[in-house]
Amino acid sequence: MSSAWVASLRNYESHLEDLTGKKTAFRGMIVELKRSVQMTFKLLALDLDETLLDANSQISGENRAAIRRAVANGVLVTLATGRMFRSALPYARQLEIDLPLITYHGALIRTVSGKDLFYRPVALTQAKEIVEAALAQDLHINVFVHDQVYVAEENEYTRFYRKLTKVPVNVVPDLYSTLTEPPVKLSIIGRSKQLKKIQKELRQAYGDKLQIVISLPHYLEITDKEATKGKALEFLAKMHRIPRQQVAAIGDSYNDISMLKYAGIGVAVDNAYAEVKAAADIITESNVNHGVAAFINQYLEKEDSRG
């Protein structure tokens, strides 16, 4: 795909006034239709970071308006994120979503009122071994238990995480000994070369038991093998009796691939990793160019034209 062609697709109008003085809906462009899919869906799952959220971790007005239009048209919308439930909840409330949220990469599905529908933590023995291995290699690791995050020390990574998620971080003197219950997730944070090395080691040791994937750059995420966004999305679809052909999902990173493959319509934002784009049916605008809104509004326009 040439850069000139992509640039031409991005020559769109946003919130222009029409002849009646009313603002038109944001009109982005679907950058690439990779496979022919039926543009009809009843359930939409949205990744947060680098997908729905902009560079400032905010939901743009364009995305917010498009999601509300989708809901008004009968689409069920949920968030599917690697974040903690408590970090995802404010975004769900901002969007007025009442569908259960997929959090911790699918390890926890919880309603906005706090009822757990699915919970699959990492086995305690495996978790303690991984904490020990990470600390032995001088790698920072976040341990998540009961929607709290625990770390061994305060550093640049904890400060970044706190700023990103708006969640307090618990520093404990002995992280290994503090871990007495199975954690829902472990996150190893470091440089790319370091993470690739320990990812390879952990996959060799636990690849048949755990999901070990990169989410955000410099984040290696570890959950139970059955805790994936794809399986969590399948759980919600079956709960609402929606066939997978009528499910859509939008994401950008490796932990999104499973839900893009499960969904009848898998959508990658234009800033997604190449492997994620390869798994998608559609490439929409980037997260900073309101890719969620571009996809939703094009879908709604097709629905309106059918009516």
Residue 27 has pLDDT above 90, yes or no: no
Residues of the chain with CATH 3.30.1240.10: 124-224
Higher pLDDT, 280 or 301: 280
Using CA atoms, how far apart are residues 294 and 286, in angstroms rounded to an integer? 9
The CATH code that applies to domain 124-224 is 3.30.1240.10
Q: Which CATH superfamily is domain 17-119+228-306 in?
A: HAD superfamily/HAD-like (3.40.50.1000)
Residue 17 has pLDDT above 50, yes or no: no
Q: What pLDDT, on a 0 to 100 scale, did the predictor assign at position 31?
A: 67
Higher pLDDT, 8 or 273: 273
Q: What pLDDT, on a 0 to 100 scale, did the predictor assign at position 14?
A: 33
Residue 19 has pLDDT above 90, yes or no: no
Q: What pLDDT, on a 0 to 100 scale, did the predictor assign at position 300?
A: 82
Short-list 279, 155, 154, CA closest to 267 = 279
Residue 225 has pLDDT above 70, yes or no: yes
Using CA atoms, how far apart are residues 100 and 94, in angstroms rounded to an integer? 15
User: Confidence band (pLDDT; 50, 70, 90) for 299?
Assistant: confident
What 130-135 contacts at long range (C-beta under 8 Å, 24+ apart), as own/partner pairs, is 130/186, 130/188, 130/202, 130/206, 130/222, 131/175, 131/176, 131/179, 131/186, 132/176, 133/198, 133/201, 133/202, 134/188, 134/198, 135/175, 135/176
| Beta carbons of 77 and 95 less than 8 angstroms apart | yes
Residue 85 has pLDDT above 80, yes or no: yes
Q: What pLDDT, on a 0 to 100 scale, did the predictor assign at position 216?
A: 74
Mean pLDDT, residues 3-16: 31
Q: What pLDDT, on a 0 to 100 scale, did the predictor assign at position 304?
A: 58
Q: What pLDDT, on a 0 to 100 scale, did the predictor assign at position 108?
A: 98
User: Confidence band (pLDDT; 50, 70, 90) for 37?
Assistant: low
Residues of the chain with CATH 3.40.50.1000: 17-119+228-306
User: Confidence band (pLDDT; 50, 70, 90) for 59?
Assistant: very high
Instruction: Give me the amino acid identity at 218.
Output: H
Residue 301 has pLDDT above 50, yes or no: yes
Segment 162-220, tens digit of pLDDT: 988 899 999 999 999 999 999 999 999 988 889 999 999 999 999 999 999 887 778 89
Using CA atoms, how far apart are residues 40 and 246, in angstroms rounded to an integer? 6
Count CB neighbours of 78 within 10 A.
Answer: 23
Mean pLDDT, residues 69-76: 94
Segment 251-267, tens digit of pLDDT: 999 999 999 999 999 99
Paired tokens of 278: 């390869």
Q: What is the pTM of this model?
A: 0.87
Mean pLDDT, residues 233-252: 97
User: Confidence band (pLDDT; 50, 70, 90) for 28?
Assistant: low
pLDDT mean across residues, the chain: 88
Residue 99 has pLDDT above 80, yes or no: yes
Q: Quick one: residue 87, left, alpha or beta (phi over 0 = left, psi -120 to 50 = alpha)?
A: alpha
pLDDT cut 70: percent of the chain above it:
85
Q: What pLDDT, on a 0 to 100 scale, did the predictor assign at position 218?
A: 85
Mean pLDDT, residues 91-112: 96
261 contacts: CB under 8 Å, gap ≥ 6: 230, 279
